[in-house]
Chains A and B, each alone.
Chain A
């Protein structure tokens, strides 16, 4: 069975601080996908990033970056120079290789960015 753990329930930072959200996963699959989603107070789910298990290259996209380490089963997400609009619940998710619609989600990390 797959499992995703987001140990940080809530994080509070002051604007312009960098913040890293942790995600640890468990799966028996050798090929899988990892995702980060954002859920703002309005409630919709916004796709942020996706990483394939066979590609461990870490990337930066604007203020977002992620650190995928297969050896430790971790997929951490960093927001650089946080802004108030980043305040939301962030979910890490894991899916099978052939079906993103069969995803396992963590319980989320609530990020509050104070001005």
Chain B
């Protein structure tokens, strides 16, 4: 099982450039999320999706767009990169079934904006 796959693992951007962080899961989970982790801090929710075609904002959505056209994929788009977006980005997929509520994380994308 591949689980949650994030690409790329590392990326360097210049201020103002745009890019898309890719996230794919092969577990048929209904929920997917994007988090960012800044140094010395926990993960903060950027956007999440409760199913194909449905997305919503998390705690820190500004500067990011998402879409969910399929169950498997949940790309995160940076429209115009800023140094404040330098961070490690984690994608996660999760399911809720009765008393079970589990979240699986990708390996992360380390992004530097110069």
**A interface residues (Cβ-Cβ under 8 A, vs B):** 4, 6, 33, 35, 43-45, 47, 50, 52, 55, 91, 93, 95, 97-108
Does the CB pair B42–A108 fall under 8 Å? yes
Does the CB pair B88–A103 fall under 8 Å? no
- Which residues of A lie under 8 Å from residue B105 when comparing CB positions? 44-45, 47
How many Å from the CB of A48 to the closest CB on chain B? 12
**B interface residues (Cβ-Cβ under 8 A, vs A):** 31-33, 35, 40-45, 48-50, 58-59, 88, 90, 92-96, 99, 101-105, 107-108
Does the CB pair B43–A50 fall under 8 Å? no
How many Å from the CB of B64 to the closest CB on chain A? 16
The chain A residue sitting closest to B95, CB to CB, is A100
Cα distance A101–B54 when bound, in Å?
A: 14
The chain B residue sitting closest to A39, CB to CB, is B37
- Which residues of B lie under 8 Å from residue A47 when comparing CB positions? 102-105
With A99-B94, A100-B31 as known contacts, state yes or no: A105 contacts B42, CB within 8 Å: yes
Q: Given A45, A55, A100, A105, which contacts B101 in the complex, CB threshold below 8 Å?
A: A100
Does the CB pair B44–A105 fall under 8 Å? yes
Does the CB pair A101–B32 fall under 8 Å? yes
Cα distance A36–B45 when bound, in Å?
A: 17
The chain B residue sitting closest to A44, CB to CB, is B107
Of B41, B43, B45, chain A has the most CB atoms within 10 Å of the CB of B43
Cα distance A107–B42 when bound, in Å?
A: 4
Does the CB pair B101–A95 fall under 8 Å? yes
With A101-B31, A101-B48, A104-B45 as known contacts, state yes or no: A50 contacts B94, CB within 8 Å: no
Q: Given A55, A93, A98, A102, which contacts B58 in the complex, CB threshold below 8 Å?
A: A102
Q: Given B35, B42, B94, B107, which contacts A100 in the complex, CB threshold below 8 Å?
A: B94
Q: Given B33, B88, B99, which contacts A101 in the complex, CB threshold below 8 Å?
A: B33
Cα distance A95–B49 when bound, in Å?
A: 14
Does the CB pair A101–B108 fall under 8 Å? no
How many Å from the CB of B111 to the closest CB on chain A? 13
Does the CB pair A103–B45 fall under 8 Å? yes
